[in-house]
Structure formats: structure tokens, C-alpha cells
Amino acid sequence: MKEKIRNSNAQLLSDVAASVGLSSRTGHNIRQLVGDTSNPVVFLDRKDYLSTLFHPIKNVTKLNQFHVSADHPGVVECREFRDSPVVRITLRKVSKVNVNVSCDNLP
């Protein structure tokens, strides 16, 4: 996308928006202008949304080692130091989370 914009001859904001729309082969770059009353930009609070799906890790800044495994989805093993005991934390709220959630469904 950066290369398309760098090499474009955009003179108006609408030209830049058109360049963004044409910059992806699969159409995943969606052009949307801030201040457009017919198609307003919606800002979502991901922290609130993700808090309904996952438990927070308490004192995460004190932990230095993290291990996740496909054998235990939704579980992270944490340590503060190399010789510290392993603490297993279940991140997902099981009753609300579908393990096969696509990133396309996230806000």
C-alpha cells in the first residue's frame, strides 16, 4: 500500500482514498474517510470487547517468560524468572469463546 501511495499522483483526499481501495489484490484495504457523514468511521473499544472473551493476566509486567502450545489452546504458562515455578493461566472464558473464531469477526 505504501508503494502505491508513494507512486500515485493523488492531488485530492478522494484520490488517496481511491489509491487505498486499489492497493490490495484481495480487497482487504477498505477506504473510509474520517468526517464522511454518509459513511462514518466507527472506533471500537477492543479492550472492552476482548475482556468479554478473555481473562486478563495479573501482574503481566513482572513476568518474563511465556509459553503457549497448540496442545492446550487458551492456556499460557508464565514464569517470572528462569528458575521460578511455572504458573498456568487460562486466558479464554470457556463458556463464551469459540476456539475457531476467525479474525474477520473481530471488531
Share of the chain above pLDDT 70, in %: 79
* Average pLDDT for 36-53: 82
Full-model pTM: 0.46
- Contact, 65 vs 56, CB < 8 A? no
pLDDT of residue 8: 66
E-assigned strands of 10-107? 65-68, 75-79, 87-90
Q: Is 18 left (phi over 0), alpha (psi -120 to 50) or beta?
A: alpha
* CA atoms within 13 Å, Cβ hemisphere of 62: 6
Give the pLDDT confidence of 68-95 residue by residue, as tens digits: 998 988 899 999 999 999 999 988 886 5
Grid coordinates in use for 32? 473510509
Q: How confident is the model at residue 97 (pLDDT cuts 50, 70, 90)?
A: very low
pLDDT of residue 77: 93
